[in-house]
Structure 1
Amino acid sequence: MVNQEDPRVLRTRELIRTAFRDLLQRKGFDAITIKDIAQEATINRATFYAHFEDKYALLDEVTEQAFHERIPEQVVNAQEFTDDICEQLIIMTHQYIVDFYRICRIDSNPMAKLVDDKIKKLLQQTIENIFLRGEDRYRADVHHIKMMAAMTGSAIYGAAHYWLNAGEKSGTGVLTDIARPYVMNGLGREIFRR
């Protein structure tokens, strides 16, 4: 068992993640092998497998790490889901999707689905945490809050993903002007009341 707190382990994991990100830009996910990652990270295959089950587990971790690095501190600490928080999440989600699809050469449907599902899940968890910290948490049960977070996350993700695929060049200001009112109107305060 690898000690996850050992500085050598942390350095090795970072080498692996960096190598993987670099390879994603050059080769695309389907073409990358564990041997490629190990060579790029200057480790052996056994070391890779000591840290990750396979390249899918590595993709999952890289996706999550990149998502958490992008969340603005104001969103992380939000006590309420406001217009400003909603706008920040829309912009962050859009930029995250742009980076993954354009920079990382998502060249396979299975990879795209894995990344999309992971982003949706992380977005939902972020929104759920804000809802649970908010003043309305006593008016709704946890399942209700989880459902609202899922719907809100899906709306934000769907709008950001559509904007990318439609090739919109108008910028995220137009995207937020369209999506934010839709999301916020759907979250009217009466939704949390029973």
Structure 2
Amino acid sequence: MVNQEDPRVLRTRRLIRDAFREMLQHKGFDAMTIKDIAEKATINRATFYTHYEDKYALLEEIIEQAFHRMIPEQVENAGEFTDEICTELILMTHRYIVDFYQKCRMDSKSIATLVDEKIKRMLQEIIEVILVKADHSRTADLNQVKILAAMTGSAIYSAAYQWLWAKEKERTELLVDMVRPYVMKGLGLSQER
């Protein structure tokens, strides 16, 4: 087993991730091989396989790390699902999608599907944690919370993804104004204005 705290391991993993990101931009996911990644990272293939099962496992780790770095502290510490938290989740998801789709060559349906599903799952987990925290009386059925979190995460993700291709994609306040009331009403948290 590899010691994940060893500086050499950390350095090697960083080299692999950096090589992967560069290859993803220039060569694309489907055309990229483990040999390509290893050569670019100046390691051998056996070393790659010591750290990652395959390029899909590496992709998942990169998606997860990038997404978690983008989570605002306000969202991480949220004790309830408010308009502000909803806004932050919408904007964060939009930023992530824009960053990923514009910086990477998305010439592969398989990678797009994998990225989409991973982001939706992580968004759902964030929302689920917030909803559980907000239920101070602990009366919520966990299955209902999971379903609400899944629907909410899917709505936010789908809207943010569609906005990537919208005419006014730079005007994220329009995205928020459209999505937030829908999400808040769906959760039964809308405030009459």
Common topology (TM > 0.5): yes
Percentage of identical aligned residues: 66
Q: Distance in 1 between matches of 2:129 and 2:137?
A: 10
Offset of residue 170 of structure 1: 4.7
Offset of residue 127 of structure 1: 0.6
Q: TM-score, normalised by structure 1?
A: 0.93
Offset of residue 24 of structure 1: 1.1
| Alignment RMSD (CA, Å) | 1.4
- The one-letter amino acid paired with 1:74 is Q
Q: In 2 relative to 1, CA 91–17 (structure 1 residues): closer, same or farther, beyond 3 Å?
A: same
Structure 1 residues without counterparts, runs of 5 or longer: none
Per-residue Cα deviation, 1:130-178 (whole angstroms, up to 9, x for no partner)? 1111135613111111111001101100110111133433511100010
Structure 2 residues without counterparts, runs of 5 or longer: none
Q: Distance in 2 between matches of 1:106 and 1:97?
A: 12
Which residue matches 1:96?
96
Q: In 2 relative to 1, CA 137–159 (structure 1 residues): closer, same or farther, beyond 3 Å?
A: farther
Offset of residue 185 of structure 1: 0.7
For 1:175, what is the secondary structure of its paired residue? helix
Match status 1:169 vs 2:169: yes
Per-residue Cα deviation, 1:7-47 (whole angstroms, up to 9, x for no partner)? 21111111111111111111111111111111111111110
| Number of aligned residue pairs | 190
Assess if the C-alpha contact under 8 Å between 1:131 and 1:137 holds in 2: no
Offset of residue 118 of structure 1: 0.2
Query: Superposition pairs for residues 42-81 of structure 1, below 5 Å?
Result: 42-81=42-81
Which residue matches 1:124?
124
Q: TM-score, normalised by structure 2?
A: 0.94
Q: Distance in 2 between matches of 1:150 and 1:137?
A: 22
Query: Superposition pairs for residues 1-194 of structure 1, below 5 Å?
Result: 1-136=1-136, 138-189=138-189
